[in-house]
Amino acid sequence: MTGTPLLRFEDVHLAFGGLRVLQSLDFDVRAGEATALIGPNGAGKTTVFNVISGVYRPQSGRVLLDGRDLAAVAPRQRIRHGIARSFQNVRLMAHLSVCENLMVGQHVKTNGLRDLLAPFRLMGNHRWRREAIDALAEVGLEAHADAPVGGLPYGIRKQVDLVRATLAGASLVMLDEPAAGLNPTETNALRLHLERLKARGITLLVVEHDMHFIDRISDHVVVLNFGRKIAEGSLAEVRRHPEVRAAYLGIEEAA
Ligand SMILES: Nc1ncnc2c1ncn2[C@@H]1O[C@H](COP(=O)(O)OP(=O)(O)O)[C@@H](O)[C@H]1O
Ligand SMILES: [Mg+2]
């Protein structure tokens, strides 16, 4: 095990009424690595993301980012602390171009949410535009710079969303089922994109059902079932774990 933890869950408990969704959850996301969070539907994976982004507050336990308790950081401030999230339904502004969407991200980093949508300022900022185009070129998407986001295939929008997170200065990017709905070519392009992010030192936390994808991208795998961590290690290690086989991979193999 190498790397210092960028993110740490310490004995986190979360319940909705009587339903215990996360139970004494402990795990680390090491800096610069891709950590995969896997488990059956309803295991609590998306809830973990919601806790990190501040949508839910745990009843007990701590979530530390770089050693700092996130309870002290308001949800809206978390992006400024380098936490970015890529949603299953990409949340880009469909009527704006790819470049404009990226420039909004840069604007958030620089000026916060104040006068967020001041299109003339965005358009006038040539440095931001250049940075946005450079970032697109790095992942082979520069041809789409001026295309309205709404007209692009889902796989491309997904990647533009990742470029947005990177330009906004994310150090931790959370992806919830990024390969869902992508064809094999798009999945491969996404994987290469994530590898580039990792090469730049960006830490990834990925929820994904596609085990082949997990196998290619992840350095470490954490398995949840009913809100508890039942195993962690390499994918090969967790696959051998009896509780994992019973709870999760067993379902897949039986199918
Ligand atoms: N806001 C909520 N209120 C009540 N129950 C919730 C809420 N969010 C999630 N849950 C429940 O928490 C459990 C874990 O959900 P979730 O984290 O979405 O699972 P996963 O992403 O692993 O499929 C499920 O039983 C789900 O119904
Ligand atoms: Mg989920």
Ligand with the closest atom to the CA of 227: 1
- The conformation of residue 73, written as its DSSP 8-state character, comes to S
For the chain, give the longest Cα–Cα distance: 59
Residue 25 domain boundaries = 1-82+207-255
Instruction: Give the atom of ligand 1 at the shortest distance from the alpha carbon of 19.
Output: 5
- Give the per-residue pLDDT at 88: 65
- Give the per-residue pLDDT at 168: 84
Instruction: Give the atom of ligand 1 at the shortest distance from the alpha carbon of 207.
Output: 21
Q: What is the rounded average pLDDT of the residues 194-214?
A: 95
Residue 179 lies in a domain: no
- Give the per-residue pLDDT at 254: 39
Residue 185 lies in a domain: no
Please give the distance, rounded to the nearest whole angstrom, from the Cα atom of residue 224 to the centre of ligand 2. 12
Strand intervals (E) in 111-188? 172-176
Residue 165 has pLDDT above 50, yes or no: yes
Residue 236 lies in a domain: yes
Residue 147 lies in a domain: no
Residue 166 lies in a domain: no
Residue 153 lies in a domain: no
Q: How confident is the model at residue 91 (pLDDT cuts 50, 70, 90)?
A: confident
- The residue whose CA has the least distance to atom 1 of ligand 1 is 16
- The residue whose CA has the least distance to atom 8 of ligand 1 is 47
Please give the distance, rounded to the nearest whole angstrom, from the Cα atom of residue 179 to the centre of ligand 2. 13
78 phi, psi to nearest 5 deg? -65, -30
Q: How far is CA 111 from CA 91, 126, 177, 218, in A?
A: 20, 16, 31, 34
Residue 244 lies in a domain: yes
- The residue whose CA has the least distance to atom 4 of ligand 1 is 16
Which of 130, 124, 125 has its CA nearest to residue 142?
130
Residue 104 lies in a domain: no
Please give the distance, rounded to the nearest whole angstrom, from the Cα atom of residue 136 to the centre of ligand 1. 35
Question: Which pTM value belongs to this model?
Answer: 0.90
The residue whose CB lies within 8 Å of the most ligand 1 atoms, and thus the one to mutate among 22, 37, 47, 229, is 47
Question: Among 108-117, 119-128, 135-144, which stretch is predicted with the lowest mean pLDDT?
Answer: 108-117
Which of 149, 60, 136 has its CA nearest to residue 97?
149
Domain count, the chain: 1
Spatial contact of 102 and 153, defined as CB atoms under 8 Å apart: no
Residue 113 has pLDDT above 70, yes or no: no
Is residue 83 within a helix (H) or strand (E), and if so which, with residue range?
Answer: strand 83-86
Residues with CB under 6 A from ligand 1: 16, 19, 21, 39, 41-47
- The conformation of residue 147, written as its DSSP 8-state character, comes to S
Is residue 23 within a helix (H) or strand (E), and if so which, with residue range?
Answer: strand 19-30
Residue bearing tokens 């997990």: 214
Read off the CATH number of the domain in which 255 is found.
Answer: 3.40.50.300
Instruction: Give the atom of ligand 1 at the shortest distance from the alpha carbon of 16.
Output: 4
Helix, strand counts (H, E) of the chain: 10, 10
Neighbours of ion ligand 2 (CB under 5 A): 45-46
Residue 48 has pLDDT above 60, yes or no: yes
SS3 196: helix
Please give the distance, rounded to the nearest whole angstrom, from the Cα atom of residue 92 to the centre of ligand 2. 20
